[in-house]
Structure 1
């Protein structure tokens, strides 16, 4: 029997869609997407996935056993081994015998893998320049300094990745590993609130279900994974009673993933976990630096138009009742807004402005 759909308390959604953890995870996803896209399209690296980034960042120094990487990425050894297999298949790492224990193996970057990480660090620095333009030099400097302090305070491992090297200025390059830790702590805190069946992979779907639900193709695009992967996760969440599929009002052939009552309760428990995370971050950063980090993360996330497809409509007042033709025009405007958001993210602010200039209507010349 399916669980009935339900909405979370009205005050839950504002907190759920506007919080430090969400903004940092979204910025991390944007950063990794930029790196992956540039490495593949501009520099000829093939077979990359967003999930490769945090894994590879842990391998710059010596080789490491998979068990330690799995622990730091908060995934199972099996999932870690599968990820390593994909990266190895793409030619970026190899397995070697452990010099102190002939029975165990280490994963090590290949020459191609080291070049990949080095060029990825260059792209991160270029992305930082754009982030700095969006929020201003002073805010960006405080932002990266707070991230560096948070990285140290969380006890995250520094393995001399070029983007994280000791002595370098604070960098947004630490953000993907911070985001992984945030996701792990939120998941563990939510599991402790009577949600024992949750897995880290579920976060790819649950975090992108808005008040009006979520669409598999949009979630897959935002997460940089296949629709099949998101569909498989959503089926697991349906089996656990957190989600259910409903006809898509914008597409008769599509479906919308909506929260059930149990799913709405999960959102409420996630908000409680967010409050606990804020307390731990305040102990590391102090009130002033934490407030600055929150403010800049929010400003940068909004400037990058992140997750507008999921939560943008929820931030606006609902439109008044209109005739069918008016509803169609409203839906068209919504679709155009979503397209504009995607183009801004894919093209960057400069190319997006150039495209807008090309699309600007031109006056007709009068016949003489």
Structure 2
């Protein structure tokens, strides 16, 4: 038995809106805004990857091994990542006064000036966010980002102004750590992804999206998007085709494997949300979610990129999917569908695991516990869905 495509709707809606999407989009907005202003202030050849090592070196010079450990990478990879910074004149090697055999990585005069200008631009962004959602909300967001960073031992947290750091200064390092954890969770579900894939995967609509639109969104060339798309196509997540109304336009759309990735991405974000909620406290995490959503909406980020669930578009994709995919996806989709019918705003990974694990589904006590929280209509829905799940095993 196969569930209809429209019951994939809650999966898609949670894919469109979740705390990681909001955090990532806000971080990208903050970084681009800062880089545009820093370029105008005479700092050329900047890259997003510069922010993490520069923020660490802003407190004091570090040995290469110290910097690599703080960034969570190998010494060799760290050395490679520092070459553009050194070439641009922002860092240099110095003798370590405590050990003549060792070298320190330190900011140059230009690097120190860049840090100062960057903090000024971040403070300007902080004030801009206050005009959008109010100083109280931004102050609360900054505090929750600080608490999350400390709990996760994010490198560089508190190295400068402590609680006085502007909110945008906390976004990049925390977002990077959470993205790494999210990729690890997704990898455990069988998806070996790269950071660069997010530029494409995160912006493909169910009905397909033009390569040119993806390039505009990411402020890169269509050639850059096409290269990433080629890798994703070789992995089986997407396909490329001509647009029906414009034969010159190339569109990307998900394959059956891509729909599996959407489902698993939703599950991975929920797992990450549970981990962060356990670390920060459920109430503080809920407040962080709300504040990120509020700022994301006020900035009007990614408007129109991922459209609300479209039954026709989903039906076309599902009609092309093999039976084994439908059976594998029905369980998660059904449970998220039930959650949406029950009015749940977020179905945690633990709840999904409880309902989908075979022992739990077969346990009379577990079912009684679940049913005790449902009204009569919801109980009937649950029984129907459990019967469907049994048919698809």
Same fold? TM cut 0.5: yes
Write the distance in 2 (CA, Å) between the matches of 1:181 and 1:22. Answer: 14
The question of 1:266 aligning with 2:261 is answered yes
8 Å contact from structure 1 (residues 183, 203) kept in 2: no
Q: SS of the counterpart of 1:245? A: strand
Write the distance in 1 (CA, Å) between the matches of 2:156 and 2:249. Answer: 44
Q: SS of the counterpart of 2:236? A: coil
Q: SS of the counterpart of 1:308? A: coil
Paired residue for 2:55?
57
| Alpha-carbon shift at residue 157 of structure 1 (Å) | 1.9
Within the candidate set 190, 200, 209, 2:195 is matched to 200
> Taking structure 1 as reference, are residues 66 and 209 closer, same or farther at Cα in structure 2, changes over 3 Å only?
farther
Within the candidate set 308, 311, 322, 1:314 is matched to 308
CA displacement 1:202-235 (0-9 Å, x = unmatched): 2333222232334444434444444443332222
The question of 1:25 aligning with 2:21 is answered no
> Taking structure 1 as reference, are residues 261 and 170 closer, same or farther at Cα in structure 2, changes over 3 Å only?
same
> Taking structure 1 as reference, are residues 9 and 129 closer, same or farther at Cα in structure 2, changes over 3 Å only?
same
Which is helix-richer, 1 or 2? 2
The question of 1:191 aligning with 2:187 is answered yes
8 Å contact from structure 1 (residues 210, 310) kept in 2: yes
Within the candidate set 163, 167, 171, 1:171 is matched to 167
Write the distance in 2 (CA, Å) between the matches of 1:64 and 1:153. Answer: 23
Paired residue for 2:317?
none
Paired residue for 1:345?
none
> Taking structure 1 as reference, are residues 17 and 71 closer, same or farther at Cα in structure 2, changes over 3 Å only?
farther
Write the distance in 2 (CA, Å) between the matches of 1:75 and 1:22. Answer: 25
The question of 1:85 aligning with 2:83 is answered yes
CA displacement 1:236-269 (0-9 Å, x = unmatched): 2222111221213464322122222112111111
CA displacement 1:56-83 (0-9 Å, x = unmatched): 2222123345566556556676665443
8 Å contact from structure 1 (residues 205, 234) kept in 2: yes
Q: Which runs of 5+ in 1 are unaligned?
A: 1-5, 319-368
Q: SS of the counterpart of 2:162? A: coil
1:1-368 matches, within 5 Å, as 9-41=8-40, 43-64=41-62, 69=67, 73=71, 80-96=78-94, 106-158=104-156, 162=160, 165-168=161-164, 171-195=167-191, 197-249=192-244, 251-311=246-306, 313-314=307-308
Write the distance in 1 (CA, Å) between the matches of 2:74 and 2:237. Answer: 22
8 Å contact from structure 2 (residues 89, 111) kept in 1: yes
Write the distance in 1 (CA, Å) between the matches of 2:304 and 2:159. Answer: 33
> Taking structure 1 as reference, are residues 95 and 224 closer, same or farther at Cα in structure 2, changes over 3 Å only?
farther
Paired residue for 2:323?
none
Paired residue for 1:353?
none
Q: SS of the counterpart of 2:251? A: strand
Q: Which runs of 5+ in 2 are unaligned?
A: 313-393
8 Å contact from structure 1 (residues 74, 200) kept in 2: no
> Taking structure 1 as reference, are residues 123 and 101 closer, same or farther at Cα in structure 2, changes over 3 Å only?
same
8 Å contact from structure 1 (residues 55, 69) kept in 2: yes
With normalisation by structure 2, the TM-score equals: 0.70
Write the distance in 2 (CA, Å) between the matches of 1:210 and 1:70. Answer: 38
| Alpha-carbon shift at residue 130 of structure 1 (Å) | 1.2
Paired residue for 2:382?
none
Question: If you compute each CA radius of gyration, which structure gives the higher value, 1 or 2?
Answer: 2
| Alpha-carbon shift at residue 121 of structure 1 (Å) | 0.6
Considering only aligned residues, what root-mean-square deviation do their CA atoms show, in Å? 3.1
Q: SS of the counterpart of 1:11? A: helix
